[in-house]
Structure 1
């Protein structure tokens, strides 16, 4: 899922990566809405809020929202920066390190919520920032290693693309094109996984509250471990042959 890059990736690689990371994004976003009444898996709405706050002259609120947008931006920047620089040393590490940073951000949020959170506005603003940074890292990672085929933290563009694809599939000539069918499979798997992740988070939150963030971290850690295991297996096969 992680160690392969761009054109070396298979449909299965992209579906597994997209499904698992989309599920984690759905869980993070729904939990954020429940706890903070704020969306953290994308910044589309934040741009609208930023424009509104600027028009009203609410400069403190505008500054906070602008900071959130910049943190999401920095997450994407950081993920791709790590990939293009560490890639020369080790492809697997280059793709695993951004996920480790995302896990650290989410552990900070989950741990703070569980042990220290007093529900103040400043605390909320900082924790939302951490979550946006984490989602920016995830989206930057999946987009970078899949050549923008997989984007898992927001569904606006994906839903539009699916609508266009399904309209194309009304014509037989387009239904016969494998790359279009593969694209549809990836996008449907991301959409379904995101929705399932959101539903699971809502249900689980009622049982274990803030500890739902630890479950998201387990999902992400599974991706790292799974790919490491696959790498070891492939190395062992290469030695035997």
Structure 2
């Protein structure tokens, strides 16, 4: 799910990564919408707000929104900087490090929000920025290692792709295309997981408030630990096969 890169990934890898990442992104976005009245899993709306604030001459508000967009950009940049520099040395580290940074950001928001948040404007602006940075990290990671097949923090492009594929499937030759059917499976898995995560976050938040960010972090931690487990099992099986092959060659 995390170790494989680009064209080496299987359909199952992309569905697993897309579903779990989209689930956590949905939780983050709905929680931020409830608490801060702001979207934090994408920046499309923020570009519109930036243009509006500039046209009104509200330069402070415009600078804040620009900073949010920049932080989302920096999150994407940081993820890919890590992947580019460490992928050949240790792909597991290169692909899990952005998620670890994301967990740190979300735990920080959850901890501060639960114990110290006074609902001031400055606090809100900073926490929104931190969440956008975290979502940029996640989106940059999933898009990069999946060769842009998996984007989980923004569903506009996804819905467009589903519409295009649905239209294509009215033709028999496209319905029989395995790659296109696989792509649709990934897109639908992401959409369902995102919506499910958002619904769960809404239900949880009204009971535990900012603790929901710890739940999101647990979901992301599961991705990291599951892949670590798979890495160890794969290594163990590889060693075992080598020993068996060596034993068989000595016997003969």
3-state DSSP of counterpart to 2:41: coil
* 1:101 is the counterpart of 2:116: no
For residue 98 of structure 1, give the secondary structure of its aligned residue in structure 2: helix
Partner of 2:133: 133
Structure 2 Cα separation of the partners of residues 192 and 239 of structure 1? 39
Q: Does 1:15 align with 2:15?
A: yes
Q: Deviations over 1:144-181 (max 9, x none)?
A: 00000000001000000000000000110000000000
Structure 1's consecutive aligned runs of 4 or more residues displaced over 3 angstroms after TM superposition are none
**d(CA) in 1 for partners of 2:196 and 2:46?**
24
How many residue pairs get aligned? The number is 241
- Deviation string for 1:123-143 (max 9, x for gaps)? 000000000000000000000
Name structure 2 gaps, 5 residues minimum: 242-252
Q: Deviations over 1:52-83 (max 9, x none)?
A: 00000000000000000000000000000000
- Structure-1 separation of matches of 2:106 and 2:40: 12
Distance 2:47 2:178 in 1: 37
CA distance in 2, matches of 1:210, 1:20: 20
Q: Distance in 2 between matches of 1:236 and 1:162?
A: 40
Query: Shift of the alpha carbon at 1:207?
Result: 1.1
Alignment of 1:174-213 (within 5 A): 174-213=174-213
RMSD: 0.4
Aligned to 1:89: 89
Q: Which has the larger radius of gyration?
A: 2
Describe how 1:95-174 pairs up with structure 2 within 5 A.
95-174=95-174
Distance 1:186 1:88 in 2: 26
Q: Which residue of 2 aligns with 1:36?
A: 36
Tell me the distance in 2 between the aligned counterparts of 1:63 and 1:222.
36
Q: State the Cα distance separating 1:10 from its structure 2 match.
A: 0.5
Distance (whole Å) between structure 2 residues aligned to residue 64 and residue 180 of structure 1? 41
Aligned position for 2:244 = none
Q: State the shift of 1:87 in Å.
A: 1.1
3-state SS of paired residue (1:148) = coil
Residue 27 (str. 1) matches residue 34 (str. 2) = no
User: Residues of 2 paired with 1:238 and 1:88: CA distance?
Assistant: 20
Measure the CA separation in 2 of the matches of 1:233 and 1:64. Answer: 47
CA–CA separation in structure 2 for the residues paired with 1:207 and 1:63: 35
